[in-house]
Amino acid sequence: MDKSLILALDFTDKKEVFQFLNRFEDEKLFVKVGMELFYQEGPSIIYDLKEKGHDIFLDLKLHDIPNTVKGAMKGLARLGCDLVNVHAAGGKEMMEAALEGLEAGTPAGKNRPSCIAVTQLTSTSEEQMQEEQLIRVPMEESVLHYAALTKKAGLDGVVCSTFEAKSIRQLLGYSFLSVVPGIRLQLDDIQDQKRVATPAYAKSEGASAIVVGRPITKSSNPLEKYIEFKQSWEGAHQ
């Protein structure tokens, strides 16, 4: 991936987003638009961010019957985002339909957005997964199972935690993306995240990219904090 620190713009509206981004001046970022922002602002937020030259991960985590996901992805492909996602728990047929939709919706001469699948949310602990989802295997086994299924469906990679990134790379190869949220510096509050690591550790475990939100967006000095995260990531080896 070109830029490997993805900044989660979990804001309520466009005004807040652009006030926040003003601090970064002309830097071209890789930003993530999630449900909170997209459900308020709709496609126009994607067009506006694109116009400023940012790369965009549209994180709507689709999970529905294959036909519905295919139709939704066809529309999302037309927006011009770079990366989209689904839940791997929707199954192989649903993930294949997502790709078909993306291919059908991508305008001629443009690249299809990359598509990744969420394996187990980084806000889920192994204990919660076992008790609430009745998945009676270790977290790593569940994540690897979903990652292998995602690759079989032809998608480009997964969302996982730092703790599974190395095994995914060993099992599924270097070109299969592992996008890793749940990223914090040593003293940061982990909030609702459960499987958390530093940027440097995520990189050393083989993550392709990291996703960071609140530690930067809620900081009193977002630009300084962004640079700290970037330095931690860039200073580590894979």
Ligand X SMILES: O=C(O)c1cc(=O)[nH]c(=O)n1[C@@H]1O[C@H](COP(=O)(O)O)[C@@H](O)[C@H]1O
Residue whose CB is less far from ligand X, 99 or 116:
116
Residue nearest to ligand X (CB): 213
The residues facing 212 across adjacent strands are: 7
Catalytic residue among 64, 74, 92, 166: 64
Instruction: Give the nearest distance from C-beta 212 to ligand X in angstroms.
Output: 5
Instruction: Write out the residues near ligand X by the rule CB under 6 A.
Output: 8, 10, 34, 59, 61, 85, 118, 121-123, 159, 181-182, 191, 193, 211-215
Q: Confirm if 30 and 7 have CB atoms less than 8 A apart.
A: yes
Instruction: Give the nearest distance from C-beta 36 to ligand X in angstroms.
Output: 8
Please give the DSSP secondary-structure letter assigned to residue 4: -
Alpha helices in the chain (DSSP H): 14-21, 35-41, 43-51, 66-79, 92-105, 126-132, 139-152, 162-172, 199-204, 214-217, 222-234
Instruction: Give the nearest distance from C-beta 150 to ligand X in angstroms.
Output: 13
Residue identified by tokens 């709709």 is 42
Active site residue 13: no
Active site residue 48: no
Q: Which amino acid is located at 62 in the chain? A: L
Residue whose CB is less far from ligand X, 112 or 214:
214
Q: Catalytic amino acids?
A: 59, 61, 64
